[in-house]
């Protein structure tokens, strides 16, 4: 059985304003999981309940603690949830903790909410409804519908359910094909089943036998539950419990995330843009909240609303994520949008100001992706999408790489100058090594050099060469003299002394061989191109099998040349050496 079509909403509000009582009245379930919570009437950790509304729509409720000491737990519950149920008591009204919870929702950019004024039997709810509605209108939630409720008596609960129906019908549809990032809010062992984790699945889907990443290792999903029953697959949005194999409960904590392999990049440094200009100076240190995770961060303001964060531990973040910065000392929260999960170093004077300008003017859609690719120039396609960017339509794909539009042409214009400069500095080399060209162009892999080499240049034997470069004039004259001598006697290879006299050292001879003007038979033995055919023709007139001495006579050369020439012909398959050391043509 698959589960889909579920909605998830989180409560928010002051302690003692009746959030858990309201959840019990709405769902018929006890959200407080701990005996201590039920005994004290105080929600300490996250609670969970669910119900089917009159239309058949299923809603799961994450009940968060309202006490100021447990704001971290509250954030863990609200973080992954798309909508909020704000609870204010008619007999108490808007409080400091209400304001703090609403500030969290505002900082997280929550746009879908419902107001419930509880304890309507103890005081007139109308003034509180009016006041809370006005306060909420100034946040990202905007115009929030409100319902007065007396939960113990059941008054207003049907109206609350109807308002929930309307709210949930307006939520944006989740993407079931998106990669999974399940922030864990609970982890516990079950006898006979092993490790179980729970969380809110905001996008994607998860099924039994899926493989997910947890930190740096892969774990298997043994089974999936949703709303207390086993399912084959759960599609977002959903509350899920996953039975995992390959990990002990001691190795898990709230804030860990289960991820689709390869779909996210863990990072300990991010550039963000604050949702609004801070009223006070930013703290040097804060706590970053995202999903159910809470990580200490060092805060480096760049300029304006642009900020660089250095995390105490890596998190799987993506461009476009909304995160929350909490300053526990000042009891304030700031929302921020992630703009870069692999930011550049800021070394040059004015780099921070320039970076801030880039971030402020960069969105998280296609235009932002194009700007980011232009800055990076070349990046692995998998890394780029794991950062959260869409691939620009005009990006150049080359194997696993993405190149910014126009980059190939710009680099191709630089290559002739690099080759010319190298040949001027090293006239006996046909051109610079490919690895040298790659470094000069700032490319990450040798394979990419081929994209920027244009005619009359070519890649040959690990170098970028001019297809018809030729030799330096002095070397060419010496090689021409050797070629003229060999034209009359093709097997009269000049000896070492003659080569020295012609100023043909190892580098000059190697250049002539690379240029195709001489053939190296062995060290110190150089002949003209075509010598293989000429040697075969001479041997064809000698009765087979023939000896080395007979071959030497046919070629009219010395033993110094004949021995390596015969071995060279053997190696090339022209001749075959027989057991008695004679040879024959193949």
Domain boundary among 212, 244, 259: 259
At 40, the pLDDT band (50, 70, 90 cuts) reads very low
Domain boundary among 108, 142, 170: 170
Domain shared by 185 and 254, yes or no: yes
Place of tokens 């055919």: 533
- Is 70's pLDDT higher than 70? no
At 362, the pLDDT band (50, 70, 90 cuts) reads confident
Res 246: pLDDT: 84
Domain shared by 458 and 503, yes or no: no
Q: Which of 460, 478, 456, 479 is nearest to 469 (CA)?
A: 456
- Determine the average pLDDT of the residues in 428-434: 87
At 469, the pLDDT band (50, 70, 90 cuts) reads low
Cα–Cα distance measured from residue 437 to residue 37, given in angstroms and rounded to the nearest whole number: 68
Domain shared by 511 and 453, yes or no: no
433 secondary structure, DSSP code: B
Provide the percentage of residues in the chain whose pLDDT is more than 70. Answer: 93
Contact between 157 and 85 under an 8 Å Cβ cutoff? The reply is no
Cα–Cα distance measured from residue 490 to residue 231, given in angstroms and rounded to the nearest whole number: 84
Domain shared by 19 and 163, yes or no: yes
Going 381 to 382 to 383 to 384, the CA torsion angle's sign is positive
The pairing of strands 2-3 and 233-235 is parallel
**Which secondary-structure segment (H or E) carries 403?**
strand 401-403
The pairing of strands 186-190 and 306-317 is unpaired
Q: Is 310 inside a domain boundary? A: no
Query: Cα–Cα–Cα angle for 353, 354, 356, nearest 5°?
Result: 65
At 5, the pLDDT band (50, 70, 90 cuts) reads low
- Determine the average pLDDT of the residues in 443-472: 86
Buried/exposed code over 117-146 (b: 16+ C-beta within 10 A; e: otherwise)? bbbbbeeebeebbeebbebbeebbbeebeb
Provide the percentage of residues in the chain whose pLDDT is more than 90. Answer: 60
Give CA torsion, residues 359, 258, 239, 44, to 10 deg.
-80
- Is 268's pLDDT higher than 90? yes
- Determine the average pLDDT of the residues in 460-471: 78
Q: Is 457 inside a domain boundary? A: yes
The token pair at 96 is 């400091």
The token pair at 585 is 């043509």
Distance between terminal CA atoms of the chain? 73
Domain boundary among 143, 170, 197: 170
The string of DSSP letters for 101-160 reads HHHHHHHTT---EEEEEE-TTTS-HHHHHHHHHHHHHTSTT-S--EEE-BTTTTBTHHHH
Kindly state the greatest CA–CA separation across the chain: 124
Domain shared by 538 and 459, yes or no: no
Backbone angles phi, psi at 442, to 5 degrees: 70, 30
- Is 38's pLDDT higher than 80? no
The pairing of strands 229-231 and 217-226 is antiparallel
Contact between 27 and 61 under an 8 Å Cβ cutoff? The reply is yes
Res 460: pLDDT: 82
Domain shared by 50 and 198, yes or no: no
The residue length of the chain stands at 586
213 secondary structure, DSSP code: E
Q: What is the CATH number of the domain that holds 231?
A: 2.40.30.10
360 secondary structure, DSSP code: H
- Is 440's pLDDT higher than 60? yes
Q: Is 37 inside a domain boundary? A: yes
281 secondary structure, DSSP code: P
**Which secondary-structure segment (H or E) carries 465?**
strand 463-466
Res 228: pLDDT: 83
Which residues have C-beta within 8 Å of that of residue 480, sequence separation ≥ 6?
none
- Is 537's pLDDT higher than 60? yes
Domain shared by 221 and 157, yes or no: no
Domain shared by 156 and 45, yes or no: yes
- Is 34's pLDDT higher than 50? no
Contact between 313 and 293 under an 8 Å Cβ cutoff? The reply is no
At 36, the pLDDT band (50, 70, 90 cuts) reads very low
Domain count for the chain: 4
Cα–Cα distance measured from residue 281 to residue 283, given in angstroms and rounded to the nearest whole number: 6
Structural domain of residue 568, as residue ranges?
A: 479-585
Q: Which of 229, 218, 224 is nearest to 206 (CA)?
A: 224
At 77, the pLDDT band (50, 70, 90 cuts) reads low
Mean pLDDT (the chain, rounded)? 88
Backbone angles phi, psi at 41, to 5 degrees: 65, 30
Q: Is 374 inside a domain boundary? A: no
Res 585: pLDDT: 93
Backbone angles phi, psi at 168, to 5 degrees: -70, -30
- Determine the average pLDDT of the residues in 46-70: 75
The token pair at 155 is 């008054």
Q: Is 462 inside a domain boundary? A: yes
Domain shared by 414 and 546, yes or no: no
Place of tokens 């982890």: 187
Lowest-confidence region among 18-22, 375-379, 575-579: 18-22
At 216, the pLDDT band (50, 70, 90 cuts) reads confident
Domain shared by 137 and 209, yes or no: no
Give CA torsion, residues 509, 514, 520, 525, to 10 deg.
-10
Q: What is the CATH number of the domain that holds 559?
A: 1.10.10.10
Cα–Cα distance measured from residue 135 to residue 94, given in angstroms and rounded to the nearest whole number: 9
Res 73: pLDDT: 62
Neighbours of 4 (CB within 10 A): 16
Res 42: pLDDT: 35
Contact between 88 and 17 under an 8 Å Cβ cutoff? The reply is yes
- Determine the average pLDDT of the residues in 119-141: 95
Is pLDDT larger for residue 86 or for residue 3?
Answer: 86
275 secondary structure, DSSP code: S
Q: CB-hemisphere CA count at 13 Å for 23?
A: 30
Domain shared by 164 and 185, yes or no: no
- Chain centroid to Cα 524, Å, comes to 55
Provide the angle, in degrees to the nearest 10, between the axes of the packed helices 531-540 and 548-555.
110
Q: What is the CATH number of the domain that holds 60?
A: 3.40.50.300
Res 31: pLDDT: 56
Which residues have C-beta within 8 Å of that of residue 501, sequence separation ≥ 6?
none
Is pLDDT larger for residue 174 or for residue 67?
Answer: 174
Q: Tell me: the pLDDT tens digits for 174-205?
A: 888 999 999 998 888 887 778 999 888 989 99
Domain shared by 85 and 225, yes or no: no
- Is 24's pLDDT higher than 70? yes
Residue 173, classed as helix, strand or coil, is: coil
The token pair at 466 is 């001019």
Q: Is 53 inside a domain boundary? A: yes
pTM of this structure: 0.76
Q: Is 287 inside a domain boundary? A: no
- Is 45's pLDDT higher than 60? no
Is pLDDT larger for residue 207 or for residue 32?
Answer: 207
Q: How far is CA 97 from CA 31, 65, 70, 187, in A?
A: 20, 11, 11, 28
Q: Is 335 inside a domain boundary? A: no
């Amino acid at each position: 059985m698959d589960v889909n079509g579920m909605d998830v909403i989180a409560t928010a509000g002051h302690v003692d304003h009746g959030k858990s009582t309201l959840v019990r009245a709405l769902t018929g379930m006890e959200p407080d999981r701990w005996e201590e919570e039920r005994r004290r009437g105080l929600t300490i950790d996250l609670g969970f309940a669910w119900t089917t509304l009159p239309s058949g729509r299923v809603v799961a409720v994450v009940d968060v603690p309202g006490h100021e000491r447990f704001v971290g737990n509250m954030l863990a519950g609200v973080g992954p949830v798309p909508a909020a149920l704000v609870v204010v008591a008619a007999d108490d009204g808007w409080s400091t903790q209400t304001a703090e919870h609403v500030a969290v929702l505002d900082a997280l950019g929550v746009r879908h909410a419902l107001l419930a004024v509880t304890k309507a039997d103890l005081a007139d709810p109308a003034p509180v409804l009016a006041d809370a509605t006005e306060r909420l209108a100034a946040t990202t939630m905007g115009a929030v519908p409100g319902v007065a409720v007396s939960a113990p008596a059941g008054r207003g609960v049907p109206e609350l359910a109807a308002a929930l129906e309307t709210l949930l019908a307006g939520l944006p549809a989740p993407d079931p094909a998106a990669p999974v990032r399940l922030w864990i809010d609970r982890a516990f062992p079950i006898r006979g089943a092993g490790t179980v984790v729970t969380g809110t699945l905001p996008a994607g889907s998860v099924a039994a036998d899926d493989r997910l990443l947890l930190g740096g290792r892969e774990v298997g999903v043994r089974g999936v539950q949703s709303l207390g029953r086993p399912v084959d697959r759960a599609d977002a949005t959903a509350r899920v419990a996953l039975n995992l194999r390959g990990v002990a409960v001691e190795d898990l904590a709230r804030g860990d995330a289960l991820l689709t392999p390869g779909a996210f990049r863990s990072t300990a440094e991010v550039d963000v843009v604050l949702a609004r200009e801070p009223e006070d100076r930013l703290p040097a240190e804060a706590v970053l909240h995202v999903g159910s995770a809470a990580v200490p961060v060092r805060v480096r303001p760049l300029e304006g609303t642009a900020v660089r964060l250095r995390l105490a531990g890596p998190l799987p973040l993506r461009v476009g994520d909304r995160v929350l910065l909490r300053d526990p000392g000042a009891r304030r929260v700031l929302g921020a949008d992630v703009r870069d999960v692999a930011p550049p170093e800021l070394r040059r004077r004015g780099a921070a100001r320039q970076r801030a300008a880039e971030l402020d003017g960069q969105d998280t859609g296609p235009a932002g992706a194009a700007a980011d690719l232009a800055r990076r120039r070349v990046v692995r396609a998998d890394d780029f999408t794991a950062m959260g960017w869409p691939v620009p339509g005009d990006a150049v794909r080359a194997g696993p790489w993405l190149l910014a539009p126009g980059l190939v042409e710009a680099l191709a214009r630089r290559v002739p100058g690099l080759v010319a400069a190298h040949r001027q500095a090293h006239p006996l080399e046909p051109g610079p090594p490919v690895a040298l060209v790659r470094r000069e162009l700032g490319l990450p892999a040798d394979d990419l050099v081929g994209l920027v080499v244009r005619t009359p240049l070519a890649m040959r034997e690990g170098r970028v060469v001019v297809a018809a470069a030729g030799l330096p004039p002095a070397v060419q004259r010496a090689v021409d003299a050797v070629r003229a001598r060999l034209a009359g006697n093709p097997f009269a290879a000049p000896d070492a002394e003659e080569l020295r006299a012609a100023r043909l050292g190892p580098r000059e001879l190697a250049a002539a061989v690379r240029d195709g003007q001489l053939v190296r038979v062995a060290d110190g033995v150089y002949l003209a191109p075509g010598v293989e055919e000429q040697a075969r023709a001479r041997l064809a007139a000698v009765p087979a099998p023939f000896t080395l001495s007979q071959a030497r006579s046919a070629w009219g050369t010395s033993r110094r040349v004949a021995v390596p020439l015969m071995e060279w012909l053997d190696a090339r398959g022209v001749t075959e050496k027989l057991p008695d050391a004679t040879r024959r043509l193949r």
